[in-house]
Amino acid sequence: MMPDCFRYRITVRNAFFIALIIYVLDQITKYLAKQNISPFESIPVTSFFNLVYVENLGSAFGMFQSMGVYFFIAVAFIATILVTALILKDPQNRIAFSLVLGGALGNLTDRLVHGGVIDFLDFHVAGHHWPAFNVADMGLTAGILMLLASAFFGEDAGNKKT
């Protein structure tokens, strides 16, 4: 059964507004991190959370750094166009696509301006650190998880013809 929040349809305008909110929050928090945290400095906030400043030159978790910044700029640009088209075309998944769009634009802006993505949120347990991430990554992850949930648990998931 699909949660009711996934069935909520929003207008195209509201979808782009959600994307804008994710983008602005992402850019503001990255600016604050860059201004207030030295590279590789770790500021403990709780016993399991630190603020850090890391420039990620690769994709998720720093993978594929050898592909270069221009590859990631091209991928993000193409993804932005595709997700924008999906927002216009798929009203059932606009919320998810708007989160993905805001996140993709946030990280694309970093690559264009800084040559890499600024990450600053560091969660850890017993000395094991999750790779640092940012608000754009949270938007991307939440949107992708919503799309996966919709694909696997949506009303049409069991009725798809192959």
First to last CA, the chain: 22
Q: Are 104 and 72 in contact (CB under 8 A)?
A: no
User: Is 119 annotated in the active site?
Assistant: yes
- The one catalytic residue in 26, 110, 122, 137 is 137
User: Is 156 annotated in the active site?
Assistant: no
- The one catalytic residue in 26, 110, 119, 122 is 119
Q: Are 110 and 117 in contact (CB under 8 A)?
A: yes
For residue 1, what are its two tokens? 């059964």
3-state secondary structure of 49: strand
- Burial class of residue 73, CB neighbours in 10 A (0-12, 13-18, 19+): middle
Residues catalogued as catalytic: 119, 137
